Amino acid sequence: MTTGTTARPIHSLAPALSGPVTGPDARALAPGSPVGSELVVAPELLQRLLESEQAGQGAYAANGDRARVADTRRWVAWCAERELCPLPATPGDVATYLREHAVTCRPATIARWASTIAFRHRQTGLPDPTKTEPVRLALRAIRRGAVAAVRLDAPDAGEPEEAGAGRGPGGQRQALAIREATVRRVEEVLDRRAAGGPLPLADLRDLAMLRVARDLLARRSELVALTVADLQASDADDGSGTALIRRSKTDQEGEGAVGYLSPRTMGALRAWLTAAGITRGPIFRAVNRHGQLGTRALGADDVARRFKRLAALAGLDPARVSGHSARVGMAQDLVGAGFGLPEILQAGRWKTATMVARYARAQAARHGAVARFHADSPRDDTASSFARRGTAP
């Protein structure tokens, strides 16, 4: 399957395919492999892709770039195993790829893979196969959860399911919320520990990080990027403060956003920073098992581990907790407290209401029109009267 006499092996498709490849991708992408060496693309497409990658440097968030790298590798490996051409791809091949993995991967992951395939085609000026009817129908079926189990033995190429994790619309997994009541239980446990002596640095850091994450509805990357210079005490004499989020997923231009920090959160921050002796640089840093403080900021992947540890103290199942649990919990608390959608969107730096609706659909129902109707109606004892008679209405 060639498109020219001087075409190159598929493993040279783009910088996204360079570097170590492990797992099921390794055999398909290894230079000189029987399969990989047979698959080629036109050199002019490679040139367009390389030029587009170079021109786009710095235009996208680093996390997005990394995701597209991984997605491209996975798509190319899948094509290599089947001796298919990944670029340009046929609509049928893309639809089969997405449907095949829908058995083991989340709808959101599948949608991201489709977006990456579309992105690579746009980079090279090729028609976008994801805009065709076969792919549209495949994505629609995946969102509805109506995809047949076409390959039950397929390896899990996406994010693994967490035991007991809740499912949202279309099968989307949702992180367990860490709400204010959970944070209070964590504080009670740590207060009992403190009665026997000073808390370890890791405890002080994790509590401060959890409270900041909730107040700011911070994403993992936003949380670990905070520095001491981003904090400011409020002019009000109540112990509150603010934090500057310099860049976020929905603020790629770096305009920044300022979030409120409650007096309790500022108190937790002061306790951590004072005990750690941090006066400048990253706020949330590694602490080794000997209690020694590092100089670099924690990574985004460290956030979930810290939250899982605290959730376990409060009696929650840590397997259901993720780096987004604090953000989900505050969104639910705000909906439950009756705040309006515009206020919540602003607090969480969301562009649309989709994620808020997903996070807080149960709270919204309990405070929605039907709930308010029944709350304002005269008391109805019908249910209790039927229960006393042992009959059902």
Which residues of the chain carry a pLDDT beneath 50?
1-40, 147-167, 169-171, 383, 386-387, 391-393
Rounded Cα distance between 35 and 359, Å, is 44
- Burial (CB count within 10 angstroms: exposed 0-12, middle 13-18, buried 19+), residue 328: buried
Name the class of domain 8-160: mainly alpha
Rounded Cα distance between 188 and 350, Å, is 32
Per-residue burial over 112-128, b = 16 or more CB atoms within 10 Å of its CB, e = otherwise: bbbebbbbbbebbeeeb
pLDDT of 277 = 95
Rounded Cα distance between 357 and 118, Å, is 27
Name the class of domain 180-351: mainly alpha
Return the closest-CA partner of residue 209 out of 261, 256, 281: 261
- All residues at 6 or more sequence positions from 347 whose CB lies less than 8 Å from its CB, including other chains: 217, 259, 330, 334
Q: Do domains 8-160 and 180-351 have the same CATH topology?
A: no
Are the CB atoms for 86 and 29 separated by under 8 Å? Answer: no
- Per-residue tokens: 337: 């407290």
pLDDT of 389 = 52
- Burial (CB count within 10 angstroms: exposed 0-12, middle 13-18, buried 19+), residue 334: buried
- All residues at 6 or more sequence positions from 101 whose CB lies less than 8 Å from its CB, including other chains: 110, 113, 154, 157, 158
Return the closest-CA partner of residue 284 out of 352, 222, 370: 222
Per-residue burial over 166-198, b = 16 or more CB atoms within 10 Å of its CB, e = otherwise: eebeeeebbbbbbbbebbebbbeebeeeeeeee
3-state secondary structure of 261: strand
> Which secondary-structure segment (H or E) carries 47?
helix 43-55
- Per-residue tokens: 171: 């099968």
Entry pTM: 0.56
- All residues at 6 or more sequence positions from 17 whose CB lies less than 8 Å from its CB, including other chains: 10, 11, 29, 72, 73, 76
Return the closest-CA partner of residue 159 out of 149, 145, 174: 174
Domain ranges in the chain? 8-160, 180-351
- In the chain, the amino acid numbered 318 is P
- Burial (CB count within 10 angstroms: exposed 0-12, middle 13-18, buried 19+), residue 381: exposed
pLDDT of 368 = 67
pLDDT of 163 = 30
